[in-house]
Structure formats: structure tokens, C-alpha cells
Amino acid sequence: MTTIPTVRAQLRSDAFRAADGPPAWLTAQVRPAGSFGRGDVRRLQRLLDALSASASVVVLDLAAARLRSPRVAAVIDDAPRRLEATGGCLLCLNADPESAARLSRCCHAVVMPPG
């Protein structure tokens, strides 16, 4: 029996495969603004789930956002697992020092230092 995640991965894989050339990539850039705490986890999770289902690369620009909760960092780290299944990734940019510290335990998200 095929599981839902396996079906989704196959659909995404097929979507990126062009009929007559190299794979097509979709990059999504997200620029959240404001202070994100545990009350915002579900909204952020839904957004990253939707993007992970169709994008190849998700760029999360955190220049205008502050991550106040470890749960927010966990959601950010969970999304790349789905992207990695098809060769994609989630890239976090411009995190302030406090947000970068929360993201430092991420195993899947790529966190770039400022600058």
C-alpha cells in the first residue's frame, strides 16, 4: 500500500521533471514580519506545508521577523524534510541573533548568517 507522503513525493518529482529538458525548479520567497510566538505556529506550519508541496526551494527571509518560540523553530526545521525528499531545501536568511540562536538546533533548514 502506498502512503500519502510517498504519493506526494512522487507527484512532486513528476512535476519537476520536464518532458523535453532538465527539471523545472520553483523557488518561493517568504518574508514574514513581526514577532512569531507559539500562537503563530499553526499558521506558519500551514504556509510551509503548502510551499513544501510544490516548491523546489523555499527562502525564508527573516529580516523583519523575530522568532520568540522554540516551536516556531521546530516548524521551520520540519518543512525541509519534505523538500529534501525531492532534492529541495529551505534556506533561512537575515535572522536576528535571538532568532538565529533558536534556529541553531535545526537539522534540516539551512540557516545563513547575516551579511
pLDDT score of 11: 44
pLDDT score of 3: 39
Residue 27, beta-bridge partner list: 57
Please tell me the CATH code under which domain 4-111 is placed. 3.30.750.24
Mean pLDDT in each 10-residue stretch from start to end of the chain (115 residues)? 41 54 85 93 93 92 94 92 87 94 91 81
pLDDT score of 54: 87
Map out the domains of the chain as residue ranges. 4-111
CA distance 115 to 100: 13
